[in-house]
Amino acid sequence: MNTYKFSARTNAFYPVAQQAIYEQAGTWPADAVDVDDSVYQEFAANITPVGKMRAVGDDGLPVWIDIPEPDPQLQSTRQTTLQLTLAEVALQCAVDEGKASDAQVAELATIKSEIARRFVTAQLWTDIPEPDPQLRATRKTVSQLSLEAFALQCAVDEGKASETQIAELAVLRADIANRIGEKT
């Protein structure tokens, strides 16, 4: 029994059991076609193969295609914006706590200006596919570790960090550097 339909227009699966709800909301795709449950399992329920993304084949059904290489300029802009944003957050913490020097306040203004100049719209940002699930997981872990390190750095900057927290900050920084392939 087919429990899903596939829309080539939206490149998405829709549960047949919820068709009435979609129709009532006016969002049921007119091009939805029956697909075998094995097609749904392969292209929606299971993990995407490394280096692939779902697309619509000539027959209107889902297929795996190679993830296109991201535009190098856009990728560079994204990376720079992420680095600037992390620097902005750290400086903003110091400013908010009233602990920033005049030089740090000026640096924060410069960074905010640079971020605004380099701003990439959300639409363009999402066009850069992540190469594989492992890299995506590594980036998520690095982001989480960076937030922890940021919180500890704020405590250090405020003079409220214990020796244990200072040591933990050093370990976090080394872990982050190791995960992104840099030397501390």
9-64 residue pLDDT tens: 999 999 999 999 999 999 999 999 999 999 999 999 888 899 899 999 999 999 99
Name the most confidently modeled range: 31-45, 72-86, 147-161, 166-180: 31-45
Q: What percent of the chain has pLDDT over 70?
A: 83
Name the most confidently modeled range: 41-45, 117-121, 130-134, 142-146: 41-45
Q: What is the pTM of this model?
A: 0.44
Residue 179: CA count within 13 A, CB half-sphere = 19
What is the spatial distance between Cα 184 and Cα 172, in angstroms, rounded to a whole number?
11
Mean pLDDT across the stretch 130-146? 66
Mean pLDDT across the stretch 147-174? 79
Q: Give the pLDDT score at 100.
A: 83
What is the spatial distance between Cα 50 and Cα 16, in angstroms, rounded to a whole number?
29
Q: Give the pLDDT score at 131.
A: 56
Predicted confidence (pLDDT) at residue 120 exceeds the cutoff of 70: no
Q: For 97-132, where are the alpha helices, taking DSSP H only?
A: 102-118, 122-126
Please report, in angstroms and rounded to a whole number, the separation of the first and last CA atoms in the chain: 57
User: Counting Cβ atoms within 10 Å, is residue 137 exposed (0-12), middle (13-18) or buried (19+)?
Assistant: exposed
Which residues fall within 8 angstroms of residue 68, CB to CB, at 6 or more apart? 129
